[in-house]
């Protein structure tokens, strides 16, 4: 985690742009937190003015933890399955419209494969 990254996110980039509220891990945490730590009350009071302290405060709230948990979802397994299992490694057509259609077909095939797998057929 870089303090410079947090400060760069907090500073507006243009005169009418809104600052980004960063959610960057402050360090490694155990996978299974202690029971008392999981159900600890939310921190009281307004967030501090310092961007790093404000982010740490946000990560301790229920909303901040829920937003940070969304970072765990990733598309890499899907792309890996499409590459290795379905053997789709390159597009056969050229042009944005044709490639979009080809990608839609690949995604449709992947989703049909998953539906069949979930139904146990």
The verdict on 62 and 110 lying in the same domain is no
Above 70 in pLDDT, residue 1? no
- Comparing CA positions, the residue from 67, 48, 55 lying closest to residue 26 is 55
Above 90 in pLDDT, residue 105? yes
The verdict on 42 and 97 lying in the same domain is no
User: Distances in Å between the alpha carbon of 101 and those of 13, 70, 90, 93, 110?
Assistant: 36, 29, 14, 9, 14
User: Distances in Å between the alpha carbon of 95 and those of 18, 57, 85, 87, 117?
Assistant: 36, 48, 25, 21, 33
Model confidence pLDDT, tens digit, residues 4-47: 888 888 777 666 677 788 888 888 777 777 777 777 777 777 77
Predicted local confidence at residue 104, as pLDDT: 96
The verdict on 68 and 15 lying in the same domain is yes
Summarize the confidence of residues 50-75 as an average pLDDT: 83
Domain end position, chosen among 34, 54, 72: 72
């Amino acid at each position: 985690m870089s303090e410079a990254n947090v400060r760069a996110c907090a500073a507006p980039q243009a005169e009418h742009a809104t600052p980004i509220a960063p959610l960057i891990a402050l360090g490694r945490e155990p996978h299974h937190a202690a029971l008392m730590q999981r159900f600890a009350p939310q921190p009281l009071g307004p967030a501090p003015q310092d961007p790093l302290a404000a982010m740490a405060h946000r990560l301790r709230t229920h909303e901040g933890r829920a937003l940070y948990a969304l970072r765990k979802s990733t598309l890499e397994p899907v792309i890996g399955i499409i590459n290795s299992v379905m053997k789709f490694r390159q597009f056969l057509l050229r042009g944005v419209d044709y490639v979009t259609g080809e990608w839609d077909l690949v995604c449709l095939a992947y989703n049909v494969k998953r539906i069949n797998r979930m139904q146990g057929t």
